[in-house]
Amino acid sequence: MVKPVDLLLTNAILLTMDETLSQFENGAVAVSGDSIVAAGPEAELRKQFEAKETMDCGGKVLMPGLVNAHTHVPMTLLRGLADDLRLDVWLMGYIMPVEREFVNPEFVRLGASIGCAEFIRSGVTTFADMYYYESAVAEATAAAGLRAVCGQTIMRFPAPDAQSYEDSLAATREFIEKWLHHPLIVPAVSPHAPYSCTEEILRATAALAAEFDVPLHTHISETSFEVENARRDWGMPVVPYVKKQNLFDAKVLAAHCVHIDTGEINTLKHHGAGVAHNPSSNLKLASGAAPVVEMLNAGLNVGIGTDGPASNNDLDMFEEMRLAAMLAKFHSVDPTSLPAQTAVLMATRLGAQAMHLGQVTGSLEPGKRADLILVDINQLHNSPHFRRDPNSVYAQIVYATKSTDVSDVMVNGKWVMRDRKLLTLNEQEMLAQAADLAKEVDRFLIARESSVLSKLIAIGGTTQEESFEIQVKVKVEDPQPILEALVKPGIKIVYNRHYREYDTYFKFKPEQGILRYREDEFLDERGEVDHVRYRLTLVGEPHEREFPSDVMLSRSRFLAPANQSLRFYREYFQPSEEIHIVKDRLRWLVRFKDTEFYVNLDRMDEPALGHFLEVKSRTWSRRDAEHKSTLVLELAKFLGVSTRETEAREYVKIVEERS
């Protein structure tokens, strides 16, 4: 009996990407409503079905729409903002400060719409996203007619759409309730990464995802640095750590998994987690090569993702398939390790399975939604064709096809592109808005880069609170008399400390001040390191002034704990010059004439300059600074220091030159 269908696609090289990877040289697909009714030889389908409409595919490849298993789609608006930087400098130094300033629902909607246009043009019908205001991503995606797993980001830092993680969690619950059962959108929970969350957040997000049976999309083991930190802080690699936080109670989609071992691969497999491999991003950020072949051999569902368009910098899944194949070959020194057919499988069915959408999309099989594309492989750059090896068509797709060869795209039974014309989006209008926004972002960053202080504030490095330091610094030939003076009556020791200090001074143009990165090693009685502290101090030159006694120096200072590495600050601030100083410091907090002062007795080891005495106090007001300046001088005299003014003045100069 002949069955009616809505559409019969004929005269195609059909790649079904089903379990047996069946392909048909004269293939056809029958579609009714949003679903595929049949896929197979054209002659058979013509006998079985009577179609309202028949479309001749003109010998193009008819295959499942590509699945981008990991991205941050609104970041199309930040494409090219900052490149050729390390991940932490790129993320903490540029992307996050700009996101805090500019990201709102309109930004997200526009960025996601542009991303959807790029997806359609390059044959992507399904993607897994993770961003802020994810409801706006979902709206834009549904309006564009694409399919997505939309993950609302949750992390321990304040985000553009939430002041606290509790706020994000509540908003994510609402987001899930709103989008659950939508035909195109699957809402998801996205704890950003184990390092940017807490145990509590990981547990709460897993519980929320499990409650609604929605996917949990996160970043796992992207860099070796992350894994080193995990071993140091948690005593184990990342996968066992998240397992301990019950993350696998949820349906996990883990992006990256670059630095995981065999045990972790088995854990992911055991818990049915999917993996998104991001070759462009891993190459561009030099994160490393994920053990893709080992993961595939273990039976894991490994999809391919582009990662965000600000770290790629495009959303081209044809390029990504090619790189996935080539990176695996290069990494294993084996050209047979990841054949073209496997790369196509990863970019289609395996990707859908990794996103926990395997029942819905990823292959052209009866019962699945009609998410399909037509690819013209008759272009100059993709000719001629050999059919001796049936797999040669996959090689054509992976090694020679360009994303611009995609001519037609259907999602959920509806065309979103016909003959390279977009049917659901207006590119010109969106690009004009993006250009205006880029100008605003440029203005913001140019203003910020004009001062070291504003760059420090931009990374959350300090508040704008000023303090003043009053100090006398003198070179001493013999420290013994000072040690003796400290125990005389008239002075009271509140406490004493012993440190080893490693200072790095970043110099800029004089009016920008000097930034000091200090590593303090606290030494115990036996002279062994007890603990370490890292601090950042911006010493502002413009506020420097000398008090009447001539030996006092006061400069405004901005203090901050140094949460990032010295290397991070070097790459972020890009000083014109760097100076390193190492010293052994004995420090006393003393009470002298009802006022507290610090007394530092330093032995300068690098450069080897001998001993120095510093008597200092810090205050938050200029008036107080002037008052204390007299007492500082008195205390120095009490400690037996010659404060002949010329000598002292000279030393102030030495310190300034050296620091």
Task: Please give the residue ranges that form the binding site for Zn ion (CB under 5 A).
Answer: 307
| Partners of 277 in beta bridges | 304
CA-based nearest residue to 141, from 185, 86, 182, 98: 185
| Shortest Å, Cβ 222 to Zn ion | 8
| Shortest Å, Cβ 114 to Zn ion | 18
How far apart CA 49 and CA 411 sit, in angstroms, is 21
| Shortest Å, Cβ 308 to Zn ion | 6
Determine if the peptide bond prior to 390 is cis (ω within 30°). no
How far apart CA 336 and CA 482 sit, in angstroms, is 74
How far apart CA 65 and CA 409 sit, in angstroms, is 7
Place of tokens 């893709």: 292
| Shortest Å, Cβ 622 to Zn ion | 48
Helix/strand/coil (H, E, C) string of 176-220? HHHHCCCCCEEEEEEECCHHHCCHHHHHHHHHHHHHHCCEEEEEE
Select 13 or 257, whichever has its Cβ closest to Zn ion.
257
Select 307 or 408, whichever has its Cβ closest to Zn ion.
307
b (16+ CB within 10 A) / e for 189-219: bbbbbbbbbeeebbbbbbebbbebebbbbbb
List Cα–Cα distances, 277 to 141, 286, 340, 446, in angstroms: 22, 14, 15, 35
Helix/strand/coil (H, E, C) string of 462-512? CCCCCEEEEEEEEEECCCHHHHHHCCCCCCEEEEEEEEEEEEEEEECCHHH
Residues in the chain: 659
Give residues with Cβ within 8 angstroms of 483, minimum separation 6.
601
| Shortest Å, Cβ 387 to Zn ion | 39
| Shortest Å, Cβ 76 to Zn ion | 14
Select 307 or 501, whichever has its Cβ closest to Zn ion.
307
Select 31 or 292, whichever has its Cβ closest to Zn ion.
292
| Shortest Å, Cβ 255 to Zn ion | 5
Select 307 or 503, whichever has its Cβ closest to Zn ion.
307
Give residues with Cβ within 8 angstroms of 39, minimum separation 6.
14, 16, 18, 27, 28, 29, 30, 364, 365, 366
Select 139 or 307, whichever has its Cβ closest to Zn ion.
307
Select 221 or 401, whichever has its Cβ closest to Zn ion.
221
How far apart CA 406 and CA 81 sit, in angstroms, is 28
Place of tokens 């993350």: 247
Place of tokens 């390790």: 337
Select 220 or 328, whichever has its Cβ closest to Zn ion.
220
Tell me the three state secondary structure of residue 403: helix
Six-digit token string for 326: 């080539």
| Shortest Å, Cβ 179 to Zn ion | 21
Select 32 or 68, whichever has its Cβ closest to Zn ion.
68
| Shortest Å, Cβ 253 to Zn ion | 11
Select 323 or 410, whichever has its Cβ closest to Zn ion.
323
Select 313 or 629, whichever has its Cβ closest to Zn ion.
313
What's the alpha-carbon Rg for the chain, to the nearest Å?
Answer: 32
| Shortest Å, Cβ 182 to Zn ion | 23
Select 40 or 279, whichever has its Cβ closest to Zn ion.
279
C-alpha of 470 from chain center = 42
Six-digit token string for 137: 């991503």
Residue nearest to Zn ion (CB): 307
| Shortest Å, Cβ 72 to Zn ion | 6
| Shortest Å, Cβ 192 to Zn ion | 9
**Contact (Cβ atoms closer than 8 angstroms) between residue 36 and residue 366:** yes
| Shortest Å, Cβ 281 to Zn ion | 7
How far apart CA 507 and CA 503 sit, in angstroms, is 13
Q: Cβ–Cβ contacts within 10 Å for residue 446, how many?
A: 9
Select 147 or 277, whichever has its Cβ closest to Zn ion.
277
Give residues with Cβ within 8 angstroms of 594, minimum separation 6.
none
| Shortest Å, Cβ 609 to Zn ion | 49
Six-digit token string for 296: 């595939």
| Shortest Å, Cβ 545 to Zn ion | 49
C-alpha of 358 from chain center = 27
| Shortest Å, Cβ 120 to Zn ion | 21
Select 307 or 376, whichever has its Cβ closest to Zn ion.
307
How far apart CA 25 and CA 358 sit, in angstroms, is 25
Select 190 or 401, whichever has its Cβ closest to Zn ion.
190
If you ran DSSP here, which 8-state letter would residue 423 be given? Answer: S
**Torsion 553-558-561-563 (CA) sign:** negative
Select 76 or 512, whichever has its Cβ closest to Zn ion.
76
Six-digit token string for 187: 């809402």
| Partners of 10 in beta bridges | 56
Q: Cβ–Cβ contacts within 10 Å for residue 150, how many?
A: 33
Q: Cβ–Cβ contacts within 10 Å for residue 236, how many?
A: 13
